[in-house]
Amino acid sequence: MSATLVLSLTFIDYQFKVVLRGSLQNDELAGFMGSFYGFAGLLALAVQVFAAGKLLTRFGVMTAILVFPAALFMGSVAMMFMPVLALAVAVKGSDKVLGDTINSSVNQLVMLPIPAEWRNRAKGFLDGVVRNGAKGIAGISLIALSPLLSIEQFSIVVAILLVGCIVAAVKVKGAYLKTLLSTLKTRGSGDMDDAELDFMDPASIDLLTETLKSTDKQQVIYSLRTLCGMESFDLMPSVAALLRHPAEEVVVETLIQMERRKFPRMEEELLAFLPATAGAIKAQALITLAATADERFLDFLSDNLEDDGREIKAGAIAGLIKYYGIEGMFRAVGTLKELLESRDEEDRMAMAALFGQIGIKLFYKPLIPLLKDGSPLVRKFALQSAARLQVPELASYAVALLRNSDTRPHALEALASYDEALIIPLLEPYFAEAAEAPLHLPKVYERIGTQGALDKLLAHYSASGFEMKGMLLEAMTRMKSGHAQADKAKVTELIVKEAELYERFSEKMARLGENAAYEQVLEAASQLRSTIVRRIFQLLELIYEAGTIQAVYSSWSEGDARQQANAMEVMDQLLQGQVRIELARIMTARGAEPGVHSKGSAQSSEINDSFSWLLEQGDEWLADVIRHTLGTGLPEERAELAERMERVRVLAKYPLFRELTGRGLSAVAASLRTVRVERGDVIFRVNDPGDSLYLLQSGTVGIYRNDEKIDERKQGDSFGQTAILVNRPRTATVIAEENGVLWRLDSADFYDTLFDKTDIAMAMMKMLSRRLRTVLAHHHDPAANEPEEAAEPPEGAELAAAAKENLSETTADAASEAQDAQGLLLRRVLVLQKIGLFAHLSQEDIVQLARIVEEVAYEAGETVVRMDEYGDALFGIIEGNVRVHRGGDTVAILGEGDCFGEMAVIDSGPRSASCTAVVPTVLLQLHREQVFSLCAQNMDVLKCLMRVLSDRLKGLL
């Protein structure tokens, strides 16, 4: 459409100038041109001020988009028969009067449904490629055609082009509606500006209005919010049906919109509706009734303060305080105080949610004690209210709650909901005091997701500690996958500094030599040095293609000599300047220097200097190891540290933790609880809930089933390893056979540690995944890597049904579009539910995954993955077939619904087979980073992945 319009305007401009030169000369021509552009400008101003808005509001975007090409078409047809100056002026004037006003506005508004991160790219492509390319083609065409065609014949060409433009505009209308509907289902209406919504096409409004009749609550709520964002939309005709909707959420949302819009005679509808309501619906109905601020209802609302239901009380309090001023506050304050000070958790939860409903920013102070409440549920609702109020004074309390895994997701949502210009200055001081900055603070910036937020994180990198640098990089790499881009010069500078730090570590470690007394220090320092290398590669991901850098790192750090050599060759070709030199030194040193060797005995002063420098690096684990090695500190501190080191040493012997670093083991060890038992004590019985692991420090325990001893455990053994990963009933009874000491690790504490320390979580999943690969390979199972197939989870039918609920009947045209969009979601859900890795995810989590995965198409014979390549994605087959083969030997033929590459999401390991499309095939593709991002936000997802891996290794741990 844009291209044909540009071509047409270029030819029209040529016609205008030719006719003008034939009619006017010299001074007349100059005077006419001045008058033409002057009057055209005045007319354009008048159209923009008096006509454009009304046209768009009344007829919508997709009707207005036809006005300009239709006017040009009619003028061009007239020019075929009468190529006179008056017509040429009228056609050219249409460009100025309509093109620069109505058409320009439409071009902006038609981008509305496109996600923000793609909108600028789309505009840039249209302006920079399509339109400029069309101008170039038009110029060449003029050179070729002007000697051959008359003015009348040029009008024929223009008319043909404009017909094409109008046809394209009609197609744009269909795409616009489809994209708009898809946008509503995936993002809601939050990304759309209210001002823009007033210009929505009537067909779009009809589509959304019909959606209000759907039984699907998500579609109805999205449509309701979008429509109510338009001042011209009248909700009242739909209110009665919406208040009878079977979904409570829809009824509550309808009442909220009624509260905001305050319809005439709204109280009549509410008074008829209230007697049949209860719970959350009645609470919101009371608030909506209070929105009328009618003194007649003051006593009625006050009476509800005595209701037995806390939700009803909360609704009455909110309505009185929000809409009845001092009088309402006076009546509600007694009940409010009573509930705030209640020992009943649910009372305080209701009050925590109340402040968000009231929505008065100045009325925030009573929320502070609730943000510090001992109940995680109370704090959760208080955070939701803080997100609605967005009061600067509450931000510090939300930041503090980032430290707790129970409240972290809600604290992130609350902080990210603030306006960027307000929240970032409030968060910046935390980075200045490293000890005060919660490790998960960068995730707030990640949620904000703007270029400014990424620039701030990058600026904090140099001054941050080891752990914080890791969190900063995780956040920045995920932000980079959107539209934010890191400054290449700044990143390059940071890479060089990290390389220098790597060299300093190597130098200090070399001075410590091979002294056995310093073995733990060298091991801890070596782990940090490896972390530095990983950070260098993560920094490279910010300025180069992330998949390439990840593949290089995997090949270099985990591959054989050939793969390492290939990885170094890629880096040598990709990088330039100082970064290339530094990374070549590091990558080469790894292969030639498996350990740290001293070239001679270091002086005592050099050793002391090395210890001092290592302590200054600010890593807590390394500092603990050094203090333990040197025996520094007070006697009580030394004793406490010695016990912690012993726990780390013992944990390292157990298979479940064997591949964790000392730092990871230290974090797990902090959660161990000492349990003393005497002979005959029952530690747990068969069928008791299994939620803890026991490590036997001294004594002996017997394992019994059906009153018969089947095994025993002694010092250094463990029992209950599976229970820590998968909560299931105990399969035996364990009894102490002599006095002893146990260390118990509870599942809840273990998962809290994993959720706090994502590197430990990833290491645990990698370990389980690799052990699964090894076991399966040992058993010659072709599913060891590709393909990964799993039994259909028991909730598959429910998930399918849940997805199908999204399919609804609207208008005839819209129904087809809705089915296309929801059918896309449905088929993704149906494939994802078959992937064993996600077998225990909730319906909501499966649908969330379905919204973020990609669909990729392959032609027959095209390779999807190659054997021995390192992978970072799993695939599910939506349509077609895939051949799994090793060389010429076929391992399997996979069809619709089958999956492969599942373990690659966990450990990025090498593919054990190649996969090739047999026929044209459509695949669902889910990247490792998408899964890990979901794990970092949702502990249930993390538990699910660990549970699946543990189930597969059941009996092998």
Angle subtended at Cα 667 by Cα 663 and Cα 671, rounded to the nearest 5 degrees: 155
Number of H helices, E strands in the chain: 46, 18
Distance CA 875, CA 882 (A): 11
Is residue 562 classed as helix, strand or coil in its secondary structure? helix
Distance CA 563, CA 553 (A): 10
DSSP calls for 505-537: HHHHHHHHTT-GGGHHHHHHHHHHHHHHHHHHH
Distance CA 936, CA 938 (A): 6
Which pLDDT score, from 0 to 100, does residue 796 have?
36
Output the 3-class SS for 585-601.
HHHHHHHHCCCCCCCCC
Q: Are 109 and 177 in contact (CB under 8 A)?
A: no
Distance CA 525, CA 513 (A): 13
Residue 24 Cα distances to 10, 91, 152, angstroms: 21, 18, 19
Place of tokens 């009153």: 707
Which pLDDT score, from 0 to 100, does residue 209 have?
82
Tokens of 364: 């925030």
Tokens of 594: 């498996």
Nearest CA among 318, 260, 332 for reference residue 292: 260
Give the other-Cβ count within 10 Å of 132's Cβ.
12
Is residue 674 classed as helix, strand or coil in its secondary structure? strand
Q: Are 511 and 610 in contact (CB under 8 A)?
A: yes
Which pLDDT score, from 0 to 100, does residue 597 have?
45
Is beta strand 689-690 parallel, antiparallel or unpaired with respect to 728-729?
antiparallel
β-partners of residue 391 are none
DSSP calls for 913-929: SEEEESSSEEEEEEEHH
**Cβ neighbours for 807, distance < 8 A, ≥ 6 positions apart:** 216, 818, 819, 822, 823, 826
Distance CA 302, CA 317 (A): 8
Distance CA 48, CA 232 (A): 20
| CA 242, chain centre distance (Å) | 32
**Cβ neighbours for 673, distance < 8 A, ≥ 6 positions apart:** 743, 744, 745, 746
Task: Describe the crossing of helices 151-187 and 812-832 by its angle, rounded to 10 degrees.
Answer: 50
Angle subtended at Cα 693 by Cα 687 and Cα 694, rounded to the nearest 5 degrees: 105
Distance CA 440, CA 32 (A): 67
Is residue 804 classed as helix, strand or coil in its secondary structure? helix
Is residue 678 classed as helix, strand or coil in its secondary structure? coil
pLDDT per position as a tens digit, 18-73: 777 777 766 676 677 767 767 776 776 677 666 766 665 555 555 667 777 787 77
Which pLDDT score, from 0 to 100, does residue 799 have?
34
Q: Where are the alpha helices (DSSP H) in 481-518?
A: 488-512
DSSP calls for 892-950: EEE-TT-EE-TTHHHH-PBPSSEEEESSSEEEEEEEHHHHHHHHHH-HHHHHHHHHHHH
Residue 403 Cα distances to 400, 485, 668, 804, angstroms: 6, 28, 17, 39
Is residue 817 classed as helix, strand or coil in its secondary structure? helix
Q: Where are the alpha helices (DSSP H) in 82-115?
A: 85-94, 104-109
Burial of 30 (0-12, 13-18, 19+ CB in 10 A): exposed
Distance CA 699, CA 738 (A): 6
Phi (first) and psi of residue 730, to 5 degrees:
-65, 145
β-partners of residue 713 are 701
Distance CA 391, CA 556 (A): 49
Which pLDDT score, from 0 to 100, does residue 660 have?
83
Distance CA 129, CA 268 (A): 58
Ranges of the chain with pLDDT below 50: 116-117, 181, 183-199, 591-599, 780-822, 955-957
Burial of 924 (0-12, 13-18, 19+ CB in 10 A): buried
| Amino acid identity at 799 | L
Task: Describe the crossing of helices 747-756 and 758-778 by its angle, rounded to 10 degrees.
Answer: 110
Give the other-Cβ count within 10 Å of 505's Cβ.
22
Is beta strand 740-746 parallel, antiparallel or unpaired with respect to 692-698?
antiparallel
Q: Are 836 and 874 in contact (CB under 8 A)?
A: no
**Cβ neighbours for 255, distance < 8 A, ≥ 6 positions apart:** 243, 281, 284, 285, 287, 288
Distance CA 298, CA 631 (A): 73
**Cβ neighbours for 780, distance < 8 A, ≥ 6 positions apart:** none
Give the other-Cβ count within 10 Å of 325's Cβ.
11
Which pLDDT score, from 0 to 100, does residue 75 have?
76
Please give the DSSP secondary-structure letter assigned to residue 128: I
**Cβ neighbours for 258, distance < 8 A, ≥ 6 positions apart:** 235, 239, 266, 269, 270, 288, 291
Output the 3-class SS for 745-769.
EEHHHHHHHHHHCHHHHHHHHHHHH
Is residue 552 classed as helix, strand or coil in its secondary structure? helix
Q: Is the peptide bond before 729 cis (omega within 30 degrees of 0)?
A: no
- The C-alpha torsion from 201 through 202 and 203 to 205, rounded to 10°, is 90
